[in-house]
Amino acid sequence: MPLNSIRVLDLTRLLPGPYCTMLLADFGAEVIKVEDPKIGDYARAYDPKVDEDSALFHSLNRNKKSVCLDLKSEEGKAAFLGMVEKADVVVESFRPGVMERLGLDYEHLKSINPGLVYCAITGYGQTGPYANVPGHDINYISFAGLLNLMGEKDGKPVVPAAQIADIGGGAYPAAVGILLALFERESSGKGQYIDISMMDGVISWLQTALPNYLSQNSAPKRGEQVLAGGLACYEVYETKDARWLSVGALESKFWKAFCHGIGRSDFIALHQAALHEQHRLKYEIQTIIYQKTLEEWLEIFSGLEACVSPVLTFEEMMEDPQVMAREMIQTVPHETAGEMEQIGIPIKLSETPGKILRQAPKLGEHTKIMMEEMRTSGTKG
* Given the residues 88, 105, 166, 200, the one annotated as active site: 166
**36 part of the active site:** no
Inter-CA distances, 378 with 78, 85, 147, 275, Å: 15, 9, 49, 67
Q: Are 150 and 225 in contact (CB under 8 A)?
A: no
Q: Are 16 and 121 in contact (CB under 8 A)?
A: yes
Q: What residues have CB less than 8 Å from 256, skipping those under 6 apart?
A: 268
Q: Where are the strands (E) in the chain, listed by range?
A: 7-10, 30-35, 49-50, 53-54, 64-68, 89-92, 117-122, 193-197, 234-238, 244-248, 308-310, 329-334, 338-343
At residue 366's C-alpha, the angle toward residues 363 and 372, to 5°, is 140
**137 part of the active site:** no
Q: How far does CA 291 lie from the centroid of its chain?
A: 38
Q: Are 113 and 87 in contact (CB under 8 A)?
A: yes
Q: Rounded to whole angstroms, how far apart are CA atoms 72 and 368?
A: 19
* Given the residues 51, 108, 136, 320, the one annotated as active site: 136
Strands 193-197, 117-122: parallel, antiparallel or unpaired by DSSP?
A: parallel
Residues with a catalytic annotation lie at 136, 166
